[in-house]
Structure 1
Amino acid sequence: MRSENKKNRKWLKVTGIVLLVLIIGAGAYAFTVYKSLKNAVTTMHEPIDRKQSDKRQEPVSFKDKNPFTVLMLGVDERPGDRGRSDTMIVLAVNPNNKSVKMLSIPRDTRTEIVGKGKDDKINHAYAFGGVPMSMDTVENFLDIPIDYYMKVNMEGFKDIVDAVGGITVQNNLDFTQDKIHFAKGEINLNGTEALAFTRMRKQDPNGDFGRQGRQRQIIQGVIKEGASVSSLANFSDIFTALGKNVKTNLSFDDLIDIQKNYKDAGSNIQQMEIKETGTKIDKIYYGLVSAEEKQRVQSELKAQLEIQ
């Protein structure tokens, strides 16, 4: 049994959602799992037409274990409407200090929309110019290279949660959203409940910051369940849900290299937040980030990416 398990770990472990899930994957169980994952990633792979960032001198080399970034976009897509990226999370992955910095950017953050020539809410970049404009805008806002993206259709996110068998989160606020009651304490969520859990913000005294915390809990919950041995029986459902609802410019070979060289980083996820001041400009609500706060966040991310 031990030798069989050792052999199985040579392949990719069943995982859940988003880049972190794929980073954490360590080993695999059988050729059928490996093949199913490869097919899912092929479906997920969606390159974009975007020039090399001027904030990075050389392209990222996964074989050389270079630190890198991924912009995660949670998008509500509907027929005939591109939608907006209500969830924007930057992952800064460093295999040398074995950690991942996870920064949530509030959707109302006012900043320059690169390629549009005006200041607006940062989540409008996706509505104006899709993934490339979102990456360029976040890159300019944080003054760091944004190397890759991972776009998740939030309407289909519930399928991914259900595919891993549901998740467990720690809820610090008693509230009701979409006619679902969420009690304080440790609660178990299915896909529909998880989606409602991430969408609530008006009842939260911390507003969008509280919502971001719930989003991060959901992501980490899916990672935990998706990487567990018990998810093996559901690997077909997991990969089907991923293929239908996730797009990324990372290739299958990229993910193999990440699994090989970066897997230890996934065990140390450090959350970051941006402090903002809410205000109205021309009767529209925005979140304003001070120069000092922006510098603080940029410095922490640059240190994580080993950028001078």
Structure 2
Amino acid sequence: MKSKWKIAISILIVLTVISGVFLYFVFSKIGAFFDDTYHPIETSTKNELHEKTVEEDVDVDQVIHILLMGVDERENDKGRPDVLMVAELNPKTNQTKIVSLPRDTKVKIPGMNKTTKLNHSYTYGDVPLTVQTVQQLLDISVDYYAKVNMNGFEEIIRELGPLKVQNKREFTYDGHHFPEGNIELDQDEVLSYVRMRKDDSLGDEGRNIRQRQVIEAVIEKIIGEKDFVEALGFLEKISPYLQWNIQGKDLKTLYTNYLPSLRAIKQEKLPGEGSLEEDGLWYFRAEEPTSVFQ
């Protein structure tokens, strides 16, 4: 009997040690991920974006807004956002609304006597000024932002696997052919799919539609991930390409209270029209932009 107890206790000790090593591995990976990607920002508009956590400062029933940015960063060039979207997560209705903001949207830059294109706000003041400009344009408070280096987007898709989207029109771009209907995009195709504009009869709006499709497909992939170890590997691979102001404790609260909202996504566009103006530049003029999230 004693020998059986010794064996049982030995097994228990081994399992405890293994579990401890595994948990240390898990928490060190997660901690390193947030250390690498967390970049708090400060703004000075009336809709000031505070450094905060959802758990501490946001009621769990409160609607939150997240600015999503895809930036073409290159060596010695911080680039400009090609992708600008705002996601509104509503835990009361369990719905998410994603609105594309055309990069050529004509805006006033906060704190500057300047009217220009929306993506120029990033040139003048990086993420903080972009956040301020979006807040002013839409009359909302941006609670969080997430910026992805588009040149690393291929690596993200490589880790996630092919994305399923419904292509509304057949086209060929940058050596890749995209038939009409339900298709799968691999890491080599996804950027070509979202960048094509000139051969689309809808122009920028056609590109914005495809961008929203890809973002929704990425969200579906991420929330559907069941393998915890694979998820950790995914975090490690994408950290060089991601910058946001979300901490580990924020993510826990967001996961607990806002995940159901991500299972019902509604895609919308910013209302308005584009035209060539007197300065020879093409602008998108938004119509009643503050009504989008009312």
TM-score, normalised relative to structure 1: 0.80
Q: Which amino acid aligns with 1:287?
A: F
**1:46 is aligned to 2:39:** yes
> 1:287 matched to which residue of 2?
284
SS of the aligned residue for 1:240 comes to helix
1:70/1:83 CA distance change after superposition, 3 Å:
same
SS of the aligned residue for 2:84 comes to strand
Instruction: Tell me the CA shift for residue 35 of structure 1.
Output: 5.0
1:228 and 1:263 map into 2 onto residues whose CA distance is: 11
Q: Which amino acid aligns with 2:166?
A: Q
2:293 and 2:162 map into 1 onto residues whose CA distance is: 32
Residues 120-135 of structure 1: pairs in structure 2 closer than 5 A: 120-135=116-131
Q: Which amino acid aligns with 2:218?
A: V
Contact map agreement 2:146 2:245 (CA 8 A) in 1 = yes
Residues 253-292 of structure 1: pairs in structure 2 closer than 5 A: 253-281=249-277, 282-289=279-286
SS of the aligned residue for 1:192 comes to coil
SS of the aligned residue for 2:283 comes to strand
Query: Which of 287, 291, 294 is matched with 1:299 structurally?
Result: 291
Query: Which of 157, 162, 173 is matched with 1:161 structurally?
Result: 157
Residues 53-72 of structure 1: pairs in structure 2 closer than 5 A: 54-55=46-47, 61-62=57-58, 64-72=60-68
1:57 and 1:206 map into 2 onto residues whose CA distance is: 34
Instruction: Tell me the CA shift for residue 196 of structure 1.
Output: 0.9
Q: CA RMSD in A?
A: 2.2
Give aligned-pair identity as a percent.
34
> 1:5 matched to which residue of 2?
none
- Where relative contact order (Cα < 8 A, 6+ residues apart) is larger, the structure is 1
1:271 and 1:130 map into 2 onto residues whose CA distance is: 26
SS of the aligned residue for 2:103 comes to coil
Q: Which amino acid aligns with 2:256?
A: K
> 2:99 matched to which residue of 1?
103
2:224 and 2:139 map into 1 onto residues whose CA distance is: 36
1:57/1:171 CA distance change after superposition, 3 Å:
closer
**1:170 is aligned to 2:158:** no
Q: Map Cα deviations across residues 79-100 of structure 1 (whole Å, 9 max, x no partner).
A: 1111111111011111111111
Q: Map Cα deviations across residues 142-165 of structure 1 (whole Å, 9 max, x no partner).
A: 111122210010110111111011
1:205/1:83 CA distance change after superposition, 3 Å:
same
Instruction: Tell me the CA shift for residue 57 of structure 1.
Output: 11
Instruction: Tell me the CA shift for residue 33 of structure 1.
Output: 5.2
1:96 and 1:271 map into 2 onto residues whose CA distance is: 18
2:87 and 2:69 map into 1 onto residues whose CA distance is: 11
2:223 and 2:63 map into 1 onto residues whose CA distance is: 23
Contact map agreement 2:160 2:221 (CA 8 A) in 1 = yes
TM-score, normalised relative to structure 2: 0.84
Where structure 2 has 5 or more consecutive residues not aligned to the other structure, the ranges are 1-21
User: How many residues are treated as equivalent by the alignment?
Assistant: 267
1:132/1:208 CA distance change after superposition, 3 Å:
same
Moved more, 219-228 or 148-157: 219-228
Contact map agreement 2:65 2:142 (CA 8 A) in 1 = yes
> 1:14 matched to which residue of 2?
none
SS of the aligned residue for 1:88 comes to strand
Contact map agreement 2:225 2:231 (CA 8 A) in 1 = no
2:78 and 2:49 map into 1 onto residues whose CA distance is: 33
Q: Which amino acid aligns with 2:46?
A: D
1:91 and 1:181 map into 2 onto residues whose CA distance is: 30
